[in-house]
Amino acid sequence: EVLIEESVLGWKEYEMEVVRDKADNCIIVCSIENLDPMGVHTGDSITVAPAQTLTDKEYQ
């Protein structure tokens, strides 16, 4: 049996804390970047807030 999975090398993992009101207006109040490789559970990962390596294009 062989399992082939897509590589996630070079990917970045971020969390965005978003507040939305009843009129569907949204604002990002915090961005968190996981510094450990993708796939490590957030609870076990080193995180930094605000995100440090997110480009403006990626943020948009």
Delimit the domains of the chain by residue range. Answer: 13-59
Q: What is the pLDDT of residue 20?
A: 96
Q: Strands (DSSP E) along the chain, which ranges? A: 13-20, 26-34, 47-48
Q: What is the pLDDT of residues 20-59, one digit of tens each?
A: 999 999 999 999 998 887 778 878 888 899 998 888 888 8
State pTM to two decimals.
0.66
| Residue whose entry in the numeric block shows the structure tokens 């605000």 | 50
The pLDDT value recorded for residue 58 is 83
Predicted local distance difference test score (pLDDT) of residue 40 = 80
pLDDT for residue 11: 81
Nearest Cα to 29, choosing from 49, 12, 48, 54? 49
